Structure 1
């Protein structure tokens, strides 16, 4: 496994984000059922990305963007199905947390939801705690927001 630091314009990251969108669409019964979330997953503001490779094959990604001076928001975490359950996501998240900490961030926040069973299990297992919904997710009843001190 190779972990490559890059940005939101990386072709492999963009491809993995399309795979994530396809996964989410299948999970919730189509893009129309997650239309309220789509505007908050644009890649324009994402400058900090890690892509995971198995040899030259991109198999996963995670990223963050600035929320405020002390806090960054995790975005677009995804591991291809064939590679799930192998501890890759924990390593990926640890590297992402280290990158944010090195940039001076004190906290990570994220938005997830109950249908994302594996993601929620990951976040709980590495120390994320549920918080009140923040920002655009305040009135989204299917959102679960979380936070972790770095």
Structure 2
């Protein structure tokens, strides 16, 4: 496995996000458009792609939320490569990169219909927090944070 730091102009990142959005459209159903409005990748500067046997198979990104906090976004592993620990590696790389840039904390939102994502974040040391920002009052959202 190789990890690559890049930005949202990367074609491999864009293709993985297309697959992510297709998966989320099915999982989220009628709620998909609400969530989709918060997931633009147009200006993401901090994206990580995992390559397995020279194929782009997993990704994630972060964006600044405040002076000391980033939000983890667009985490995805393609269906054929799940269970290999790739998402944990991508998440770890995002955390390391954010820490290098001086951030102290990561927050994120995921859906209750994504149990594998919830398990990943809990395994990686994230703790549940009250929903923040646009997710306040949204029953299908679960929010997490981790100090880095």
Q: Given the two structures, how large is their TM-score scaled by the length of structure 2?
A: 0.96
1:44 deviates by 2.3
The question of 1:3 aligning with 2:3 is answered yes
The question of 1:121 aligning with 2:114 is answered no
Correspondence for 2:19: 19
Q: 1:40 to 1:12 in 2, by over 3 A?
A: same
Aligned length: 148
Query: Secondary structure at 1:41's aligned position in 2?
Result: coil
Residues 45 and 65 in structure 1, CA contact (< 8 A), matched pair in contact too:
no
- Alignment of structure 1 residues 1-150 onto 2, 5 Å: 1-29=1-29, 32-150=30-148
Q: Distance in 1 between matches of 2:76 and 2:138?
A: 22
List per-residue Cα deviations over 1:93-139 (Å, max 9, x = no partner): 11111000000000000001211011000000111011111111113
Unaligned runs of 5+ in 2: none
1:33 deviates by 2.9
Q: Any runs of at least 4 consecutive aligned residues in structure 1 with deviations exceeding 6 A, and if so which? A: none
What's the RMSD between the two structures over aligned residues? Answer: 1.1
Q: Distance in 2 between matches of 1:115 and 1:18?
A: 19
Q: Given the two structures, how large is their TM-score scaled by the length of structure 1?
A: 0.94
List per-residue Cα deviations over 1:37-57 (Å, max 9, x = no partner): 111000123110001112331
